[in-house]
Amino acid sequence: MCGVFGASNIPNAAQQVYMGLYALQHRGQESAGIITVDDDNVAHAHRSMGLVSDIFSTEILDSMPGSVGIGHTRYSTAGSSIISNAQPCAVDYHVGPLALAHNGNLTNAAELKRDLVSKGSIFQTSSDSEVLVHLIARSEARKPEDQILDALERVEGAYTLVLTIGKTLYGIVDSRGFRPLVLGKLNDGYVLASETCALDIVGATPVRELQPGEWIRIDGNEVQELPPLPPKPHRRCIFELIYFSRPDSKVFGKSVDRFRRSLGRRLAQEHPAPGADCVFSVPDSSNAMALGYSEHSGIKLEHGLIRNHYVGRTFISPGQSSRTEKARIKFNPVREVVDGKSVVVVDDSLVRGTTARSLVKMIRDAGAKEIHFRSSSPPITGPCYYGIDTPTYGELIASTHTVEQIHQHLGVDSLGYLSLEGLRGAVERDGTGYCDACFSGAYPTAVPGAEPDAPSIDIPIPATIR
Amino acid sequence: MCGVFGASNIPNAAQQVYMGLYALQHRGQESAGIITVDDDNVAHAHRSMGLVSDIFSTEILDSMPGSVGIGHTRYSTAGSSIISNAQPCAVDYHVGPLALAHNGNLTNAAELKRDLVSKGSIFQTSSDSEVLVHLIARSEARKPEDQILDALERVEGAYTLVLTIGKTLYGIVDSRGFRPLVLGKLNDGYVLASETCALDIVGATPVRELQPGEWIRIDGNEVQELPPLPPKPHRRCIFELIYFSRPDSKVFGKSVDRFRRSLGRRLAQEHPAPGADCVFSVPDSSNAMALGYSEHSGIKLEHGLIRNHYVGRTFISPGQSSRTEKARIKFNPVREVVDGKSVVVVDDSLVRGTTARSLVKMIRDAGAKEIHFRSSSPPITGPCYYGIDTPTYGELIASTHTVEQIHQHLGVDSLGYLSLEGLRGAVERDGTGYCDACFSGAYPTAVPGAEPDAPSIDIPIPATIR
Amino acid sequence: MCGVFGASNIPNAAQQVYMGLYALQHRGQESAGIITVDDDNVAHAHRSMGLVSDIFSTEILDSMPGSVGIGHTRYSTAGSSIISNAQPCAVDYHVGPLALAHNGNLTNAAELKRDLVSKGSIFQTSSDSEVLVHLIARSEARKPEDQILDALERVEGAYTLVLTIGKTLYGIVDSRGFRPLVLGKLNDGYVLASETCALDIVGATPVRELQPGEWIRIDGNEVQELPPLPPKPHRRCIFELIYFSRPDSKVFGKSVDRFRRSLGRRLAQEHPAPGADCVFSVPDSSNAMALGYSEHSGIKLEHGLIRNHYVGRTFISPGQSSRTEKARIKFNPVREVVDGKSVVVVDDSLVRGTTARSLVKMIRDAGAKEIHFRSSSPPITGPCYYGIDTPTYGELIASTHTVEQIHQHLGVDSLGYLSLEGLRGAVERDGTGYCDACFSGAYPTAVPGAEPDAPSIDIPIPATIR
Amino acid sequence: MCGVFGASNIPNAAQQVYMGLYALQHRGQESAGIITVDDDNVAHAHRSMGLVSDIFSTEILDSMPGSVGIGHTRYSTAGSSIISNAQPCAVDYHVGPLALAHNGNLTNAAELKRDLVSKGSIFQTSSDSEVLVHLIARSEARKPEDQILDALERVEGAYTLVLTIGKTLYGIVDSRGFRPLVLGKLNDGYVLASETCALDIVGATPVRELQPGEWIRIDGNEVQELPPLPPKPHRRCIFELIYFSRPDSKVFGKSVDRFRRSLGRRLAQEHPAPGADCVFSVPDSSNAMALGYSEHSGIKLEHGLIRNHYVGRTFISPGQSSRTEKARIKFNPVREVVDGKSVVVVDDSLVRGTTARSLVKMIRDAGAKEIHFRSSSPPITGPCYYGIDTPTYGELIASTHTVEQIHQHLGVDSLGYLSLEGLRGAVERDGTGYCDACFSGAYPTAVPGAEPDAPSIDIPIPATIR
């Protein structure tokens, strides 16, 4: 998963893009980057592995002039955590530099890449976003926007794009609208961001979310709507609302916090836990769901698990892997809350089941009498091909186990998943359509038949660069 | 403030000390260090500025053999953030290496230091803990324990110590007992830690807390109680319970979570907010208080502020100081929760008042109709001389303003502080005494009359060390 | 200027490439890189700014499996000192990874690049070597070797290439043969290197130098000669012998040390200094010339200048630029050698004249009575377009000043340059042809009319990469 | 071995100390440091492992105000390469900061340290220089200079000191005068340096060398001679002249270059090599000796070995230890010079004999017919206790082998060492006395009976400090 941000007609754009990326850090902690375009149409880039606050310094931001800029935060995907995949990508383009930040995943990237390579294109990264850049560069159309259109006609899957050609900023959302993008006004300019929390931090006022298929062009402080992409059924990603977005954001027209609260209430309705002493969340992603569960069930809310926020990227777990479970690094139960109690534990979802199992053991060891585990979303039975980093079928516990088996595996007294109907009910009068393929198997596109080709070049991050 | 950890008869002690320090990271994020003593009585040290997870690598831990070790995390104090102050300190002592980790603050350090320098002692740090080491080294007693006793007789103030002489581990708490220390059993050895959460992470079983004036000696897996220090009235630091300790810890015999919950309930009793639509905390330190407030008042709990945990130590705020308030980097209100509502905001305490003021503005901008601010502790009217890094009188808002003036300054519709009586009531049947001098002015020792001498040597951290 | 190295059928090729690059460090200190290809046809790359010994660690080399590898050291060229220009470059090619290391300079790179961009190629670097990669990738030939041939037919200028396609290693020298390449045998494999000193360090036996236009293919331990490139008059770079190569190397069939010695003797013959007390070199590049001068003239050899080898890349010269000359950082005269003496100072060449002028002043200040300056090569009147980093016309002192003016400018008692005839005489019975265009203006190719296009994207080196 | 530098009344003293240390880099490459004292008597320090040019940046130097400063470069001694040993040391002293840089070695440091520790002193380093600081701090005299005198009366061995108390700079040389120190005038101030080459680089004029036992005090621009230390027979270190000092320096009243030249001539006289084709040095330390040998013998001088100056501190030698000898990393023979020839190889001295043996093998492999090895100093039969890092008896080849055995071990055709008489003859009419104990066994002081106590605390350099 990724976060994107764009700015037009904002003095010292780099600084605002930095702030925006910082607010979107939860959408990707592997790498981040910013590209600005100055008044002479020269692009300035800085990209690196790591957190936004570690990557950028005042000196670096000051060395990136320009009132136009885009930024990107990238999520860690196993096996391809390399600096050359950091975005935004920029190329020296005949009408000025073209820079692009992509949120989503192209489902036909592998075959497009094979075709491009056979025609002499050279790939520097294993990222599917580079395919887009090559398609644009190779288009025989003469006007840049036509070239982009040529490229978009060939790609399938999920793409929310923030891109610049020279000093013109574009925002594009694919026709199904998997990933969000919101337009905001900031002083005499505009910003684009994956979520409203990034508008808040820079002090921008939300104008509106881009609709599926929408394409806008921002020159200075003028926003122009370009002809939309060919319409397709809307497929907003429901997992954005369940887990991915920040609770203080408004995504797909809904408050994430309010949506999660409603899931918690539905969960309490579908899977009550009569006689339980208290309910608590697995912090922080399911806080709102636990509150909703408490509200509907009347079971007392507690803070039964404390999360250590200092984990960072570099925590090592020396000689602990077998004895102390990995979850213990992140979570610790409050003994006085759970000891001798019948507790309801609310989580947002169950992916591999390993963390949940460890948590259950910890809570049990802290003295809980009964543990009733509740998932605020249905069993995840298939991977996501549209940008969420869920694992393959084999690793998804609900793809290989029945709910009863999971119940046994976790070692809980009861287990309840929100039903697919319950989840769909929570969004049904929305006026848009959602993708819930990871729960339902109803993939809105053809899906890649096999694993993408392994790259034949492995360029690791330099240990030191001076 | 600081966190300390010790281990005896634990194979690869460095790894367990590392885990313990990681769990005590909230007690100090400026620097950290570990010292182990191997079977040949050789000490191995690693200390650095930064977070525990950034400072230590597998290689470093592997290079620190020994079954005995101590560790320290140190809090950032303005003006003395230098590597040479990192603890534990270690000296080459005639009966083997002596290593020491200190939590607390000595109130007569400046005058002791002057005296020691006049007798030829050479100081390497501006830390008061070095005074202890010099006093021990200069004692004319012949046995190490008598030397330590000589030293302790001369110091005043707060000191909870974890120290080693050769492979013997000692735990000491001053006679007033300002700072906590808990003993735990881990397999065939023992550990000492500032809080029980550090026992939990290594899988140790709590044995008991050390009492004020207690001094224990651990050789291998044998614990021996040494004669206690001269008795003084107990003065457990009440701010440990209010703010400093982790909610999953048990400190001074009480669950931190339960204590805070009770403060929240008392706060609701003393300062109700009839007609308010919801109550929420300033996360995460006042979560338990908000829950208590909601519980007693019946006002609906919400998550009205979202905290960004990616701030880190290096976040820069380019060109934002004046416009966007600093608090916006860390917190963002959930518009849908507060818009048009009358809200109760519960915080643990008010120190300078700057963050609270910014939060109030942010919540107001997000549409709140009324804001009722509640502090779960009384006005802080004086600095702490015993190890908590509260600022000087001039910076403490309640030292220079009346509650009514603070009400105006924050721009709230109502302001309520828990009363000193309320706070005292929450601990009164405890069987121990508490220090609440920062609220009451009742300092249990003489306090330093003036600022300590400025050091005449400024040794900055090397920019790069290879 | 650059150094290249290749290895085939050498276990742990990375380690031998590393040693080879280390011996070629004098050919480029800006950046270096290694690419290996393992038995599964996967390429492993590591490239970074800095010296070979700083860039690579045992861990890095151990993480680069494969018995085939190439390496590159790159010289600092003003304005383009960026990590993305570090070589070798590697691309994911349809028959396996293609990796390429280039020594030399293409004279028609700018126009080829314009053409490629207009056809949709995307450039990642400002290096002319990338043009070659694009031309190969875009060739419509089906066999890789035909594609390389297609590409080579389009480029003009100097190129000595070491490249791999899958596990096949190629060595190619352009038809004029500007830059050297030597083949060596090492155990059951082969190595290719810019100079024989790199064969010596890995313990390889020199087989032979590649001739202009030669192209060889090495599969495992089999060397095959491919049809040579179209023949052109040989133009071996004479500056390789005068300055660039190491004196312990054999280049273009000649011992560099012996050649320089002969230049020294010719210089003494053309520009004697009767009555001088001693002769000494500007160490270390002109050591052999000074010895030759002493040998022919009978003037006593001394070590009159001592060179500080700790300069490194990072030396700063605080507040010294005006007062102490920059040359003083690198050189110091031996007062007892020069005081009161008439001295002959032998240098290899005079480029800008600034160092020579500073040296003259230092030697004068140390008490020299007379200074007779001798250059072992003719006046440099034009830039090199074939890979030597001589400056533009305006900065070359001999391009803008007469010898008499230079004599005045340096402040010497006499000045003597080796004549062009003298230089040519030193190579005339060689059986090959030389390029001496920087002295004679006789450029063997068309030269670029204008500066290459400035890049419109400036991607600086990340300050920190984790 | 170490280098020291001091400056008084020099604006921005840090910059000149930096330049001076850079010129003294050959005297110690392990660590370096600078301390300045500003107008308010506050000391500013920066010390780190590594080369001077890597340790200091413009920013660091700019952050060290003051017109008074001292600096130190420290040599790598096995086993104690730790940051805390970096000098200068500074302590907070009652009359202002005291900073000290020490060149030499105290022979009674271990017993003094034991005594100090028993009286309560705490040691932070394993360096003998810290003993001096403790002795000064513990003196019961009232005036700082008397305290220093008290301390010096107790120490034995070699010490050349540059120290500051407040803004007063002192230069002190022990009564035997083992290590050099020279006073220079720079504009309106003074500098002190180990060698004249450091005066040259800052543009200072040499005033005079300090004599054994001399102690001077510099306040601003006034130099005052303090009463000398009690006289003892002079014992200037002859190894300073043979190997340690830079050839462009004047040390103990002699030109190092001229002295080495004379050793080369004496060597040729004592050990001629009739019939040899050429003579060459092991560069760079024996360049002057080889020239002297050639001059006296009439044998033609060549450059037969080329030295690679890029070795640096971090060079790794992957998988090469057994096959390629370590010397190959640093040296390569010029095949055309040695092939088929009878050669004389001149070195300055033979310590362990390992490098010499490798060189002989390399020269033989390059085709030499006969190899005549010559050492410009006598066999080294004992370690140095006065500051030169020669190894212990067991590792010194001439301590455990006869000359005939060494001849066999090296595999040479003849071996000649300069005689002790020859060496003494080269300095005999000097008017001073020399220490040649490493050759003669005539140690001028009692020597430590055993190895110094191993430190019981091992504090490695932090991997990263932020």
Does residue C202 sit in the same domain as residue C268? no
Phi-psi region of A96 (alpha: psi -120 to 50; beta: other; left: phi over 0): left
pLDDT score for A249: 98
Picking from B47, B94, B96, the nearest residue to D462 by CB comes out as B47
- What pLDDT is stored for residue C78 in this prediction? 38
Mutate to test the interface with A, among C40, C100, C457 (most CBs of A within 10 A): C457
Catalytic residue among C2, C89, C278, C384: C2
- Cross-chain Cβ contact D333/C248 below 8 Å: yes
Domain membership flag for residue D459: no
| Amino acid A192: pLDDT | 98
Identify all chain D residues contacting C328, using CB atoms and an 8 Å cutoff.
200-201
Looking at residue C312, its pLDDT comes to: 57
C175 shares a domain with C277? no
User: Is C57 close to A124, i.e. CB distance below 8 A?
Assistant: no
Q: Which residues in chain D are closer than 8 Å to B96, comparing Cβ atoms?
A: 456
The average pLDDT across A202-210 equals 97
Mean pLDDT of the C376-404 span:
93
Q: Residue D386: which of D464, D442, D348 has the closest Cα?
A: D442
- With beta carbons under 8 A apart, name residues in chain D contacting B464: 48, 54-55
Asked whether residue B317 is assigned to any structural domain, the reply reads no
Contact list, B459 vs chain D (CB under 8 Å): 45-47, 90
Which of A257, A303, A328 minimises the CB distance to B201? A328
Evaluate whether B296 touches B270 at the Cβ level (below 8 Å). no
CB contact under 8 A, D457 and B54: no
Distance from CA of D99 to the nearest CA of B (A): 10
Q: How confident is the model at residue D38, as a pLDDT?
A: 94
- Pairwise CA distance, residues D363 & D413, whole Å: 12
Residue percentage of chain A with pLDDT more than 70: 90
Q: Residue C77 pLDDT more than 70?
A: no
Residue A298 and residue A202 in one domain: no
Min distance B100 CA to chain D CA atoms (Å): 13
Shortest distance between the Cα of D201 and any Cα of chain C, in A, equals 6
For residue range C184-200, what is the model confidence (pLDDT) as tens digits? Answer: 999 999 999 999 999 99
* β strands within C181-334, DSSP E: 182-186, 189-193, 205-209, 215-219, 222-226, 236-237, 250-251, 254-255, 278-281, 305-307, 331-333
- In D385-404, the residues whose Cβ lies within 8 Å of chain B are none
d(CA B334, CA D257): 79
- pLDDT tens-digit map of A318-350: 554 444 467 888 999 999 999 999 999 999 999
pLDDT on residue D340: 98
- Per-residue confidence (pLDDT) for residue B172, from 0 to 100: 98
On the question of pLDDT at B49 being above 90, the answer is no
Helix (H) or strand (E) holding C438: helix C437-440
Domain co-membership, D217 together with D262? no
Q: What is the pLDDT of residue B454?
A: 43
- The whole-number average pLDDT for the span B60-71 is 95
Which residues 271-330 of C have a C-beta within 8 angstroms of D?
A: 287-288, 291, 295, 300-303, 306, 308-312, 314-316, 318-320, 323-324, 328-329
Q: Model confidence at D431, in pLDDT bands (50, 70, 90)?
A: confident
% of chain D at pLDDT higher than 90: 73
Closest partner CB to C92 (pick from A455, A461, A464): A455
* In contact, B21 and B3? CB cutoff 8 Å: yes
Q: What is the ipTM of this complex?
A: 0.91
Residue A388 distance to chain C (closest CA, Å): 24
Asked if B46 lies within 8 A of D462 by C-beta distance, the reply is: yes
Same-domain status, A210 and A338: no
Please list every residue in chain C whose beta carbon sits closer than 8 Å to the beta carbon of residue A138: 119-120
Position A391 pLDDT exceeds 90: no
Q: Do D202 and C255 touch (CB under 8 A)?
A: no
* pLDDT of D176 strictly over 90: yes
- Confidence class of residue D455 from pLDDT cuts 50, 70 and 90? very low
> According to the model, what pLDDT value does residue C142 have?
86
| Distance to chain C for D54, nearest Cα, Å | 6
pLDDT at C80: 46
CA dihedral D399, D401, D407, D410 (to 10 degrees): -80
CA B197 to chain D, closest CA, distance in angstroms equals 27
Burial of C389 (0-12, 13-18, 19+ CB in 10 A): middle
CB spacing of A312 vs B26 below 8 angstroms: no
A332 touches chain B (CB under 8 A): yes
pLDDT digits (tens, 9 = 90+) for A260-284: 999 999 999 999 999 999 999 999 9
Question: Is A60 within the bounds of a domain?
Answer: yes
User: In sequence order, which residues have a C-beta less than 8 Å from that of residue A52 and are 6 or more positions away?
Assistant: A18, A21, A22, A25, A32, A73, B310
- pLDDT at B464 exceeding the cut of 90: no
Examine residue A65 and state whether it is found in any structural domain, yes or no: yes
Residues D225 and D264 occupy one common structural domain = no
Contacts of C18 in chain D (CB under 8 A): 318
Q: Does D39 touch chain B if contact means CB atoms closer than 8 Å?
A: no
C46 contacts chain A (CB < 8 A): yes
Q: Pseudo-torsion of CA B381, B383, B388, B389, nearest 10°?
A: 110
At residue A69 the predicted structure's pLDDT band, cuts being 50, 70 and 90, is very high
Q: In the prediction, which pLDDT does C464 show?
A: 26
Q: How many domains does chain A have?
A: 2
Of C46, C138, C458, Cβ closest to residue A120: C138
Name beta bridge partners: A295.
none
Convert the pLDDT of each residue in B220-252 to its tens digit. 999 999 999 999 999 999 999 999 999 999 999
Whether residues D91 and B123 touch (CB distance < 8 A) is answered with: yes
Which chain D residues contact residue C324 at CB under 8 A?
19, 201-203
pLDDT for residue D203 is more than 50: yes
Contacts B139 to D, Cβ<8 Å: 120
Tell me, yes or no, if A456 comes closer than 8 A to chain B by beta carbon. Answer: no
Considering only residues 13 to 32 of chain A, which have any Cβ-Cβ distance to chain B shorter than 8 Å?
Answer: 15, 18-19, 22-23, 25-26, 29
Predicted pLDDT at D459: 43
Distance to chain D for B31, nearest Cα, Å: 10
Interface of C with A in 57-86 (CB under 8 A): 57, 59-60, 63, 83
**pLDDT at residue number B269:** 98
HEC-encoded secondary structure of chain D? CEEEEEEECCCCHHHHHHHHHHHCHHHCCCEEEEEEECCCCCEEEEEEECCHHHHCCHHHHHCCCCCEEEEEEECCCCCCCCHHHCCCEEECCCCCCEEEEEECCECCHHHHHHHHHHCCCCCCCCCCHHHHHHHHHHCCCCCHHHHHHHHHHHCCECCEEEEEECCEEEEEECCCCCCCCEEEEECCEEEEECCHHHHHHHCCEEEEECCCCCEEEEECCEEEEECCCCCCCCCEEHHHHHHHCCCCCEECCEEHHHHHHHHHHHHHHHCCCCCCCEEEECCCCCHHHHHHHHHHHCCCECCCEEECCCCCCCCCCCCCCCCCCCHHHHEEECHHHHCCCEEEEEECCCCCCHHHHHHHHHHHHCCCCEEEEEECCCCCCCCCCCCCCCCCHHHCHHHHCCHHHHHHHHCCCEEEECCHHHHHHHHHHHCCCEECHHHHCCCCCCCCCCCCCCCCEECCCCCCCC
Looking at per-residue pLDDT, the higher value among C390 and C332 belongs to: C332
**Is A67 found in the same domain as A133?**
yes
Q: How do residues C243-257 score in pLDDT, each as one tens digit?
A: 999 999 999 999 999
Whether the CB of B5 is below 8 Å from some CB of chain A: the reply is: no
Contact B306 A248 (CB under 8 A): yes
pLDDT at A301: 98
Tell me, yes or no, whether D451 lies in a domain: no
Q: Do A83 and C465 touch (CB under 8 A)?
A: yes
Tokens of A231: 């319409």
pLDDT band at D79 (very low <50, low <70, confident <90, very high): very low
C302 contacts: CB under 8 Å, gap ≥ 6: C278, C279, C280, C334, C337, C343, D291
- Are residues D195 and D295 located together in one domain of the fold? no
Asked whether the predicted pLDDT for residue B179 surpasses 60, the reply is: yes
Lowest-confidence range among A207-216, B129-138, D183-192, D250-259? B129-138
Cis peptide upstream of residue B88 (ω within 30 degrees of 0): yes
Which positions in chain D touch C264 (Cβ < 8 Å)?
none
Q: Is the pLDDT of residue C462 over 60?
A: no
In this structure, the answer to whether residues D341 and D283 fall within a common structural domain is yes
- State the pLDDT confidence band at B320, using cuts at 50, 70 and 90: very low
D27 and D166 fall within a common domain: yes
Q: Is C303 in the same domain as C173?
A: no
**Which of residues A29 and B149 earns the better pLDDT score?**
B149
Query: In this structure, are B341 and B198 located in the same domain?
Result: no
Give residue C268's pLDDT: 98
For the stretch B4-29, pLDDT in tens is 999 999 999 999 999 999 999 999 98
pLDDT, position A84: 60
CA distance C334 to chain D (A): 4
Mean pLDDT score of chain B: 90
According to the model, what pLDDT value does residue D457 have? 52
Domain that holds residue C355: 260-307+326-426
The confidence band for D326, taking pLDDT boundaries of 50, 70 and 90, is confident
**Shortest alpha-carbon distance between residue A247 and chain C (Å):** 30
For residue C459, is pLDDT > 50?
no
User: pLDDT at position B76, please?
Assistant: 58
Task: Answer yes or no: is D74 within a domain.
Answer: yes
Is residue A105 packed enough to be buried (19+ CB in 10 Å), middle (13-18) or exposed (0-12)? buried
Query: Does some domain include residue D249?
Result: no
| Range 179-218 of D in CB contact (< 8 A) with C | 197, 200-203
pLDDT at site A325: 62
Does pLDDT of A253 surpass 70?
yes
Considering only CB atoms, D203 lies closest to which of C56, C203, C324, namely C324
Q: Is the dihedral of CA B54, B55, B60, B62 positive or negative?
A: negative
Check CB contact under 8 Å for A22 and B314.
no
Whether residue B255 lies within 8 A of chain A, CB to CB, comes out as yes
Chain D CB within 8 Å of residue B110 CB = no
pLDDT of residue B369: 98
Quick one: pLDDT band at residue D80, thresholds 50, 70, 90? Answer: very low
Domain CATH number, residue A172: 3.60.20.10
What positions of D carry a catalytic annotation? Answer: 2
Domain membership flag for residue C458:
no
| Res C325: pLDDT | 62
pLDDT at D265 over 50: yes
pLDDT of residue A460: 41
Find the CATH number of the domain harbouring D291. Answer: 3.40.50.2020
**Do chains B and D touch by CB distance (3+ pairs < 8 Å)?**
yes
In single-letter form, the type of residue at position D196 comes to: T
CA-wise closest residue to A167 among A308, A291, A43: A43
